[in-house]
Every structure is written in C-alpha cells, then in structure tokens.
Amino acid sequence: MSSSKSPTSKPEPETTPVIKKRKCLMCNKDFTSQHLGERVCVNCKGTSAWRESGYYAV
C-alpha cells in the first residue's frame, strides 16, 4: 500500500512556525521573522555580502 505523500516532499515541522520580531544578524535592525531559523532580513539577503557569504556580524 502506498502513502499519500511523495517520498521527496518536505517533512512537516514538529512545531508551528513562530512569526515574531527578531534582530537581523547582519545589520542588527528589527525585522519580522517567519520562523525560528530566519535570522537575516530580506534587505541583507539581497546584498552581495550575503550572496558571497563573506560577511557576518561580530
């Protein structure tokens, strides 16, 4: 018997994502994070420093 999910589908998270204000790790400004793992704002993700991954906040 086959399952309804494809073997290549993303696994469901164990907890629901928590949308909240967090500080960006690059520019240190507040932004609305869509989940726990999102720690860099959209503006910083658009920079060449982010794409080249040669910059990080100290």
User: CA 52, CA 24: separation in Å to the nearest integer?
Assistant: 17
Distances (CA, A) of 58 to 3, 36, 38, 51, 53: 47, 20, 18, 18, 14
What is the per-residue pLDDT for 16? 82
What is the per-residue pLDDT for 39? 94
pTM value?
0.64
Q: What is the pLDDT along the chain (58 residues), one digit of tens a residue?
A: 455 666 788 888 788 888 999 999 999 999 999 998 999 999 999 998 888 875 555 5
What is the per-residue pLDDT for 40? 94
H-helix or E-strand spanning residue 42: helix 42-45
User: CA 11, CA 25: separation in Å to the nearest integer?
Assistant: 27
Domain ranges of the chain: 20-52
Contact (Cβ atoms closer than 8 angstroms) between residue 23 and residue 40: no
